[in-house]
Homo-oligomer: A and B are copies of this chain.
Amino acid sequence: MSKVPETVKGTRDFLPEEKIFRDEVIGKIKLVFELYGFSPLETPVLESKELLSGKDQYGDEALKLMYEFKDKAGRDLALRYDLTIPLARVVASNKDLPKPFKRYAIDRVWRYESPQKGRYREFYQCDVDIVGVASSLADAEIISCASDALAVLGIKKFLFRVNSRKLMDEILRNANVEENKIVKTLRVIDKLDKIGQQGVAKELRTFLSEASTFGVLEAIKLKSDWNRLSSKVKASEETKKEIDEFIKYLEELGVKEYIFDLSLARGLDYYTGLVFEIDAGVGMSLGGGGRYEGLIERFSGEKISATGITLGLERLMDILKKSDKKTSSEIFVIPINTLKASLQIVNKLRKGGINTDFDMLDRSISKNLDYVNKQNIPYALFVGEKELGLGKVKLKNMKSGDEEFLSVDKVIDKLNYKK
């Protein structure tokens, strides 16, 4: 090859220093998902194009973003663009799965977008979904779980924007938006962040009356706690009661960071009820989700309730403080003409649960210390003949510079105690 090969457009490598931190973040998210009783499900990255391209799933716009291709046998396939459609497929084809089915997945998805700063074609989603519960208790549980995940990651400022598609439908009807224009209207509202209120007004006017446009614009200005908002909107008592209940469940599960926001529409077409989005004040949402009552039915013929949320890993990573770990190693053993004895010490440290690396190149002490510094390994351990005779080794704390002569057992105790 004439030049150093690159990654495929829109994809990137994660070197250890980033990957270690990503794994830590994923580990914390997984921990919270499991605390909430969600179990992991893994599905293949390839799906048939037919499965992924249902019109009522994703909207025409988004179908353009499918990473699709033909395989060697001419099959139309695509790399999945979310983890929700594969979940729906699994539920449809495993009818005996006990319900409720609470599943999480933290895995790769692909979208054939124009790569931009911080936006890749291959990225990770972290999903929790509850299948088989119609009650808004499930939506509250989902939000509570996502909220705890953010808290555990140390993200302090965030707000769940919540809305209801049912409520919006009624509000739009009451503003005299015709039935066949409701979805179109919601799609325009969904662009509010991008095109602003004036842009929305302009687009709405192309297919709604001036009065309807005004009604819609007034409605989507409303953001507040539900109690205050409830009295201001025109909607049926039934729908209001459903939302009352949802809010009660949110409170009972201890979720405090939320606001009812009538401008929240959510782009995906498969949402049918409550929708939610996480605003951390960083210009784009950290994730979102909602209730999708029709998606599984599309594959199975059987109506099955479902709700869920997605956290975007890359967006989370962007706002988290970076870690300074560059390697998994906690200690680096430097033999000074003592390879055989040093290897025994390496074995002992590893058996003691300490992540241990050692000099395999017979380098000088200063070169070894260079390496340890570059790799940010917290401790160096010198194994010299004289000290060995006394049953000791020299432990150097690379941060403080402190050196101690200790037995190997004491080294293990000391490093384990730090954890």
Judged by a CB distance under 8 angstroms, whether A407 is at the interface is no
Q: Tell me the complex Cα distance, A41–B328, Å.
A: 11
Q: Tell me the complex Cα distance, A403–B171, Å.
A: 52
User: What is the oligomeric copy number?
Assistant: 2
Judged by a CB distance under 8 angstroms, whether A211 is at the interface is no
- With A11-B46, A48-B5 in contact, is A37–B357 under 8 Å at CB? yes
Chain A window 132-143, contacts with chain B (Cβ cutoff 8 Å), 1 for yes, 0 for no = 110101100100
Chain A window 118-151, contacts with chain B (Cβ cutoff 8 Å), 1 for yes, 0 for no = 0000100000001011010110010000001000
A100 engages B360 (CB within 8 Å): yes
Judged by a CB distance under 8 angstroms, whether A240 is at the interface is no
Chain A window 357-388, contacts with chain B (Cβ cutoff 8 Å), 1 for yes, 0 for no = 11011100000000100110000000000000
Q: Select which of B39, B97, B137 is within 8 A of A328 by beta carbon.
A: B39
- With A42-B14, A252-B340, A360-B137 in contact, is A5–B37 under 8 Å at CB? no
A23 engages B7 (CB within 8 Å): no
A98 engages B5 (CB within 8 Å): no
- With A48-B5, A72-B112, A93-B4 in contact, is A133–B361 under 8 Å at CB? yes
B5 engages A89 (CB within 8 Å): yes
With a CB–CB cut-off of 8 A, which chain B residues contact A141? 360
With a CB–CB cut-off of 8 A, which chain B residues contact A51? 1, 5
Q: Tell me the complex Cα distance, A207–B355, Å.
A: 51
A38 engages B328 (CB within 8 Å): yes
Q: Which of A1, A39, A112 has the most CB of B within 10 A?
A: A39
With a CB–CB cut-off of 8 A, which chain B residues contact A199? none
- With A8-B48, A360-B141 in contact, is A42–B13 under 8 Å at CB? yes
B327 engages A39 (CB within 8 Å): yes
With a CB–CB cut-off of 8 A, which chain B residues contact A112? 71-72
Q: Tell me the complex Cα distance, A19–B15, Å.
A: 26
Closest residue of chain B to A77 (Cβ to Cβ) is: B8
With both chains docked as a complex, state the minimum distance between the C-beta of A83 and any C-beta of chain B, in angstroms. Answer: 12
Closest residue of chain B to A97 (Cβ to Cβ) is: B15
Among A62-70, A155-163, A259-267, the one that faces the other chain is A62-70
B68 engages A39 (CB within 8 Å): no
Judged by a CB distance under 8 angstroms, whether A405 is at the interface is no
B11 engages A361 (CB within 8 Å): no
Q: Tell me the complex Cα distance, A47–B9, Å.
A: 9
Judged by a CB distance under 8 angstroms, whether A175 is at the interface is no
A1 engages B50 (CB within 8 Å): yes
A41 engages B12 (CB within 8 Å): no
Judged by a CB distance under 8 angstroms, whether A22 is at the interface is yes
Judged by a CB distance under 8 angstroms, whether A197 is at the interface is no
Count of chain A residues with a beta carbon within 8 Å of a chain B beta carbon: 98
With a CB–CB cut-off of 8 A, which chain B residues contact A328? 33-34, 37-40
Q: Which of A33, A40, A253 has the most CB of B within 10 A?
A: A40
Judged by a CB distance under 8 angstroms, whether A92 is at the interface is yes
Judged by a CB distance under 8 angstroms, whether A350 is at the interface is yes
B122 engages A45 (CB within 8 Å): yes
Q: Tell me the complex Cα distance, A168–B356, Å.
A: 34
A16 engages B37 (CB within 8 Å): no
B46 engages A8 (CB within 8 Å): yes
Closest residue of chain B to A346 (Cβ to Cβ) is: B253
Judged by a CB distance under 8 angstroms, whether A116 is at the interface is no
25 contacts between A and B (CB under 8 A): A1-B50, A1-B298, A1-B299, A4-B92, A4-B300, A5-B50, A5-B92, A8-B46, A8-B75, A11-B44, A13-B86, A14-B42, A19-B41, A19-B42, A20-B39, A22-B42, A37-B327, A38-B328, A40-B328, A67-B72, A69-B69, A132-B361, A135-B361, A148-B350, A253-B347
Leading 9 A-B pairs by shortest Cβ distance: A37-B357, A11-B44, A16-B39, A69-B69, A37-B329, A34-B328, A14-B42, A39-B327, A8-B46
Given A19-B41, A252-B344, list of 6 further CB < 8 A pairs?
A1-B299, A5-B92, A16-B41, A68-B72, A71-B112, A72-B112
